Amino acid sequence: MSEMVLLASKDSSKVVTVACPLCGRISRQILKDEYKNSSIAAFRSPHTCPVCGTTFASSSSAESAKYSGSYARYISQGEQSYNADIKTAYTTTQNSNVHGQNSIPTTSERRLAQQVNSTAEKFMICRVAFPGSERSYSYISNDLTNDCPADLKNEVLSAVAALSRITTKERLSTFQAVTIQPLLNKIDTARVRALEEKSELEELQSRYVVLCSVAGVQPEAFSSEGGILEKLRNKVATLEKQVVMQTEQEYISDCVNEVMSEMGYDIIGNRSVTKRSGKRFRNELFSYGDGTAINVTYDSEGQIAMELGGIDRADRIPTSDEANVLREGMESFCSDFRDFEELLKAKGVLIKSRISMAPPTAEYATIINVSDYTITTSKPISEIAVKETRSKAATKRTMQKEDN
C-alpha cells in the first residue's frame, strides 16, 4: 500500500488532513494513535480514495511541501468544491495506469447517497441513523424539540446541514467519527447533566421547604427560568446557617433558663418582637426580688442582653425613689452575674466577649410592662412598690406645724 501525503495535523490529536498522491484529492482521516510529530502516521483503518480507488494504510509528511499550493486552494475553495474539481480533472486525464476508476457510483453507493440525502429536511434531536453503523439512531423531523439541549441546537443543525451534502460511504465514515460521534457524546453528557440537575433541583426544593418550616419563614416561589438552581443553592445555604444559629440559640436559652432556675430566679413570661428592619428579638422574664425582674433578650444575630427592671402593668419611667431601689438591685445582680457566668461555663456556654456592661446607676433604671409578655407562671407577680421619701426640711416644717 502507498502512503498518503500528510498536510496538516495537531499533536495529541487523531485527526489529520491528507492528500492522495495519485489524484490529489484531500480529505481528513483518523489515525490509529494520537499524532506525535512523526514522519509516518498509520490510519485506524485502511482508506480507499473514492476518486482513484487506491487504498492507503498510512500517511507521510515527506512530500507535503509539493502540495502546499493544492492545500491553499483546498482551504480557499472548501473541501466539497476543491474535491469536485479534482474528480473532474482526474476523470478527464485518466489513463490505463490508474487503477480503480470511481467516476460512476455503484448501485450500493447510489443507494447510500439516497439514504444520506434523504435526511436533508430532517433535524437530528438526540440520535441520528448512519448506514453501516453499529449503533442505531433515530430521526425527528420538522424542528428541534425540547429534547435537544438548547446549547447544542446550533451545532446539531450545522451537523445535519453538513450530513445532507455527503454522498459517499468513505466521507460518511469520516464525518461520523470526526463530527457526529463527538456531538452525540456531548448530547449524552448534556442529557445526563440535565437529569442530575433535575434531581438536585427536586432535592433542593424539598430541603428549602423543610428549612423554611424550621426557620419559621414563608417559602418563596421561584420561576422555572435559568438560574433557579443557583438561587436555591444560595437560599438553602443561608437557611442552613440560620437554622444552625437558631439551634445554638435554643441551646443557650435552655442553659440560661437552667442556670437562672438554679440561682433561684423563676421564669415569669416571654415574648417575641420583630422590628421593621426584620431583626427579631426574643425576651424572657425572670423574677428577681419583690417587684423586680431580670429581662433576658436574645436577638437574631446571637447577641444576649440582660437588664434588671421594676415590674408594672403600664409603660412608664421609674420615679426617682424607684430608680434608687433599682440601682441597689443592679449592684446585687452584678455580683450574682459572676456566678451566672461560671454556671453557664460548666454547661459548655462561654461568654467570649461583652459588647458593653453598663454600671449600676439610677440612670439605667427601667420599668418592665409585664402586660407585653405572655405570662407562663401560675404564681402571683408582685409589682414594684416604693414609698416616696420626704426631704428633711419638709419633715421639719410638718412637725413644727403640728406643735403649734
Spatial separation of the C-alpha atoms in residues 258 and 346, rounded to whole Å: 12
Amino acid (1-letter code) at residue 170: E
Which residue bears the cell 433599682? 326
pLDDT at residue 356, as a whole number: 57
What is the structure's pLDDT at 225?
Answer: 65
Q: E strand or H helix at 308, and its extent?
A: strand 304-312
Q: What is the pLDDT of residues 264-277, one digit of tens each?
A: 899 999 998 888 88
Distance, in Å, from the CA atom of 362 to the CA atom of 328, rounded to the nearest integer, reads 9
How far is residue 221 from each of residues 9, 135, 210, 228, measured CA to CA in Å?
53, 44, 14, 11
Measured at the CA of 199, the angle between CA 193 and CA 202, to 5 degrees, comes to: 140
Question: Which of 58-62, 137-141, 161-165, 391-395 comes out lowest in average pLDDT?
Answer: 137-141
| Angle, vertex CA 364, rays to CA 362 and CA 369, nearest 5 | 110
pTM: 0.46
In this structure, of 1-15, 44-58, 92-106, 163-177, the range with the lowest mean pLDDT score is: 92-106
CA distances from 257 to 96, 253, 269, 286 (A): 107, 6, 12, 9
CA atoms within 13 A on the CB side of 150: 3
Q: Which three cell numbers stand for residue 101?
A: 476508476
- Please provide the average confidence, as pLDDT, over all residues in the chain: 77
Residues constituting the chain: 404
Whether the pLDDT of residue 105 is over 50: the answer is no
pLDDT tens-digit readout, 114-156: 333 333 333 333 344 444 444 433 333 334 444 567 777 788 7
User: 304 near 252, Cβ under 8 Å?
Assistant: yes
Cα–Cα distance, 134 to 107 (Å, whole number) = 22
Q: Which amino acid is it at 292? A: T
* 363 has a pLDDT exceeding 50: yes
| Model confidence at 310: pLDDT above 90 | yes
Reported as type and span, the H/E element at residue 281 is strand 280-289
Q: How far is CA 139 from CA 117, 127, 400, in A?
A: 13, 6, 118
Contact 235, 212 (CB under 8 A): no
Rounded distance, CA 101 to CA 119, Å? 28
The pLDDT of residue 168 is 76
- Residue 357 pLDDT more than 80? no
Stretch 213-227: mean pLDDT, rounded? 78
Query: 39: which DSSP letter?
Result: S
Q: Which three cell numbers stand for residue 24?
A: 490529489
How far apart CA 403 and CA 398 sit, in angstroms, is 9
List the grid coordinates of 79. 473541501
For the stretch 316-348, pLDDT in tens is 999 999 999 999 999 888 888 888 888 988 888
Q: If DSSP codes are grouped into helix, strand and coil, which group holds residue 279? A: coil
Number of helices (H) and strands (E), helices first, in the chain? 9, 13
Indicate the pLDDT class of residue 355, thresholds 50, 70 and 90: low
Cβ-based neighbour number of residue 197 at 10 Å: 12
Give the whole-angstrom CA distance, residue 45 versus residue 32: 7
- Cα 381 to Cα 267: distance, rounded to the nearest angstrom: 11
Instruction: State yes or no: pLDDT of 20 exceeds 90.
Output: yes
